[in-house]
Structure 1
Amino acid sequence: MSVTKNCIVTIDYRILDAEGNLLHEEDEPLTYLHGNYGQIFKAVEEALEGKEVDHTFTVKLSSNEAFGQYDPELIVTEALSELPAEVSVGMEVDGYFDEDSDDVIIYTVTAIEGDHATLDGNHPL
């Protein structure tokens, strides 16, 4: 059976950087509904179209096709008094864009110095 629109597809995947270093690998396979429903990256879904069971292949994505370009404006400094009491480096906290309080952004705490923390809203990959 080949992958076509409205098939339920299960894939194992790894994310590597441009030099081939492993950045991310899930313990469990990913299952999604195939057919441009926005559940996986469009370029990956396009590459899966027509593939058969047990097919192995590589897809190279630009940052725009994957998690987006790095944006230095997504680095912010917040007073610790504005963050959860148990905040620590590596912790993720929810934040909001000033212009749209319905649009949640996940920040990773990258540093704590004195009474301020540095938060990075860029996707870690």
Structure 2
Amino acid sequence: MSTVQNGDSVKVHYTGTLTNGEIFDSSAGREPLAFTVGAGQMIPGFDAGVVGLTVGDKKTINIPAAEAYGEWQQENTIPFPKTNVPADMQLEVGQMLTLNNDQGQQFNVVVTEIQDEVVILDANHPLAGKDLVFDVELVELTPAPGKIIL
């Protein structure tokens, strides 16, 4: 029976939780998650965690923040001038906004503080700095093209 290796295409069902048990994502009731292992489509710890599985295997993968969405970084907070906020927009701490960078790419930020002249926005990934736990089940494995299966 073939085991997952880098370059293979896989489908997994998963439930992602924080270390306190809070669920942040799950494939329950949806199609399984499909990706190519080692192609950079997944966080590094998830990619590494499915290597060696065979179809039907279930596994709990504990992923430290550094192998997930990275550590929370202060330099990813943005003091945004209130003069650039539309006059009719009501801002609240915890509100999620979408901004465009100089190249026109969109990214999400969260309002963390409202000061007199600026709004402090956090552009870190919402799961940055958090250790993650994934319960996964491998439901399909398609070997990489040209892979020899013994």
Indicate if the aligned counterparts of 2:7 and 2:39 stay in contact, CA closer than 8 A: no
Which residue of structure 2 aligns with residue 7 of structure 1? 8
Which residue of structure 1 aligns with residue 41 of structure 2? 39
For the pair shown, the structure with the greater C-alpha radius of gyration is 2
How far residue 79 of structure 1 moved from its aligned partner, in angstroms, is 2.3
Q: CA RMSD in A?
A: 2.8
TM-score with structure 2 length normalisation?
A: 0.62
Q: Distance in 2 between matches of 1:93 and 1:53?
A: 39
Identity %: 22
Which residue of structure 1 aligns with residue 65 of structure 2? 63
Cα separation, partners in 2 of 1:87 and 1:94, compared to 1, 3 Å: farther
Which residue of structure 2 aligns with residue 107 of structure 1? 109
In structure 1, give the amino acid aligned to 2:49. A
Give ranges in structure 1 of 5+ residues lacking alignment: none
In structure 2, give the amino acid aligned to 1:57. K
Which residue of structure 2 aligns with residue 93 of structure 1? 98
Give ranges in structure 2 of 5+ residues lacking alignment: 128-150
Q: Distance in 2 between matches of 1:95 and 1:87?
A: 19
Q: Distance in 2 between matches of 1:83 and 1:10?
A: 43
Aligned residues: 120
Q: Distance in 2 between matches of 1:103 and 1:56?
A: 41
Q: 1:120 and 2:125 equivalent?
A: no
Q: Distance in 2 between matches of 1:87 and 1:56?
A: 46
Q: Distance in 1 between matches of 2:15 and 2:91?
A: 28
User: Which structure would you say has the larger RCO, counting Cα contacts within 8 Å and 6 or more residues apart?
Assistant: 2
